[in-house]
């Protein structure tokens, strides 16, 4: 059956009832969030894992972000999928370098994934690896970002500050700190992250996760004030913060293992854990105003690759592929 915007009856299986309720009740197309749960915003619907087969019957697309925390539940509901009219979609968005910690039983992980009608990853290296391991087509579909709403939150005035984006799974403090020391001395620029601007050699973590009771809009308003950002993540990832910064017109210097870096700011990409290369790129941004303006403009333009509209088209095309 061809899946279209008109006939799709989509459900994203959330980790918990609380998370499903949060995203279903958030409302408003202008909520500036990024990541997995935006699929539920595009195609209308998230719920906790079902307890009975009947709970799944209304849906023709059932989507699960497979993790170590839900793989046992996913295997329980696999027999409930009616493949005569339902398509089961599974994705993985956990960095391949961390699979050993998240999927300690690799064969169970692969066997579970292979039972899906369609499998996708959020960045191309993982997509290729899974395709090789499963001997089938594995899509590369980054999670959506509400770039339209985010781009409307650009700051009228930017602080003379450089932000450090640090991932919750890879708290890489030193690389951006060394790069900043070589490119923007503290007597000229403030180094900071999510929190208050402060002239301190100590870094605060910058989490871009939308967790229960954690406001997301203040994060975007805060990010919008930076002059530029160091993305320190050194593992293969999608790069949500990079997309959000790009939509705000804030250039990001980051590693080329981050998919969004290669899409939005490929001119500012460097090998992972190379603070010398990062510092060189940041110096160019700070010293060449014409180049800075160009990167800010193209960042906004390129960020729409991850928009709701583009993401919906990619997903619908993927659902109608062979899988």
**Which pLDDT tens digit goes with each residue over 60-73?**
999 999 988 888 88
119 within some domain:
yes
Determine the straight-line distance between the first and last CA of the chain, rounded to whole angstroms: 13
Nearest residue to 38 (alpha-carbon basis) of 147, 138, 157: 147
For 136-140, the CB contacts below 8 A with 24+ separation are 136/323, 137/321, 137/322, 137/323, 139/314, 139/318, 139/321
**Residue-level pLDDT at 193:** 53
Cβ neighbours of residue 224 closer than 8 Å, sequence gap 6 or more:
153, 154, 155, 158, 248, 250
pLDDT band at residue 260 using 50, 70 and 90 as cut-offs? very high
**Residue 268 DSSP code:** G
Contact 164, 176 (CB under 8 A): yes
Same domain, 28 and 167: no
CA 323, distance to chain mean position in Å, is 22
pLDDT above 90: residue 86: yes
16 within some domain:
yes
Same domain, 267 and 208: yes
Tell me the pLDDT of the chain averaged across its residues.
84
Same domain, 122 and 163: no
Same domain, 301 and 311: no
Same domain, 17 and 112: yes
Specify the higher pLDDT residue, 240 or 101: 240
Same domain, 128 and 177: no
Same domain, 165 and 25: no
Contact 323, 137 (CB under 8 A): yes
pLDDT band at residue 190 using 50, 70 and 90 as cut-offs? low
Same domain, 75 and 155: no
Query: Which CATH number covers residue 60?
Result: 3.40.50.2000
Mean pLDDT confidence for 182-186: 72
Same domain, 165 and 34: no
pLDDT band at residue 144 using 50, 70 and 90 as cut-offs? very high
Same domain, 131 and 177: no
232 within some domain:
yes
Same domain, 72 and 193: no
275 within some domain:
yes
5 within some domain:
no
**Residue-level pLDDT at 140:** 97
* 234 vs 166: CA distance, rounded Å: 10
* Structural domain total, the chain: 2
pLDDT above 70: residue 98: yes
Going from the C-alpha of 96 to that of each of 121, 131, 149, 155, 173, the distances in angstroms are 10, 13, 31, 35, 21
Contact 142, 261 (CB under 8 A): no
pTM of the predicted model as reported, rounded to 2 decimal places: 0.88
Mean pLDDT confidence for 188-215: 43
Share of the chain above pLDDT 70, in %: 81
**Residue-level pLDDT at 189:** 67
85 within some domain:
yes
208 within some domain:
yes
Instruction: Could you list the beta-strand ranges (E) of the chain.
Output: 10-14, 46-48, 61-65, 87-92, 118-121, 139-140, 161-165, 190-192, 228-231, 252-255, 269-270
Same domain, 156 and 70: no
**Residue-level pLDDT at 312:** 96
4 within some domain:
no
**Residue-level pLDDT at 207:** 37
**Residue-level pLDDT at 32:** 58
**Residue-level pLDDT at 33:** 65
Question: Whole domain around residue 217: which residue ranges?
Answer: 147-305
């Amino acid at each position: 059956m061809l899946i279209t915007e008109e006939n799709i009856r989509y459900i994203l299986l959330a980790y918990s009832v609380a998370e499903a309720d949060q995203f279903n009740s958030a409302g408003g197309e202008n909520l500036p969030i990024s990541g997995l749960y935006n699929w539920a915003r595009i195609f209308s619907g998230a719920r906790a894992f079902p307890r009975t087969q009947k709970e799944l019957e209304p849906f023709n697309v059932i989507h699960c972000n497979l993790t170590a925390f839900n793989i046992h539940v996913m295997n329980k509901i696999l027999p409930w999928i009616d493949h005569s009219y339902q398509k089961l979609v599974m994705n993985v968005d956990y960095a391949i370098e961390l699979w050993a910690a998240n999927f300690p039983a690799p064969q169970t992980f692969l066997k579970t994934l292979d039972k899906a009608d369609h499998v996708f990853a959020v960045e191309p290296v993982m997509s290729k690896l899974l395709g090789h391991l499963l001997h089938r087509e594995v899509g590369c579909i980054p999670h959506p970002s509400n770039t339209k709403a985010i781009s409307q939150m650009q700051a009228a005035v930017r602080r003379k500050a450089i932000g450090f984006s640090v991932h919750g799974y890879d708290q890489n403090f030193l690389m951006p700190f060394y790069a900043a020391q070589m490119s923007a001395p503290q007597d000229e620029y403030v180094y900071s992250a999510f929190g208050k601007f402060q002239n301190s050699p100590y870094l605060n973590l910058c989490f871009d996760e939308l967790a229960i009771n954690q406001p997301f809009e203040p994060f975007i308003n805060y990010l919008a004030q930076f002059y530029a950002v160091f993305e320190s993540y050194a593992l293969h990832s999608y790069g949500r913060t990079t997309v959000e910064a790009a939509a705000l017109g804030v250039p990001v210097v980051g590693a080329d293992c981050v998919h969004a870096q290669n899409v939005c700011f490929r001119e500012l990409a460097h090998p992972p854990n190379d603070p010398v290369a990062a510092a060189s790129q940041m110096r160019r941004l700070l010293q060449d105003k014409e180049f800075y303006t160009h990167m800010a403009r193209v960042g906004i333009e390129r960020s729409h690759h991850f928009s709701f509209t583009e993401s919906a088209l990619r997903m619908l095309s993927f659902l109608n592929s062979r899988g």
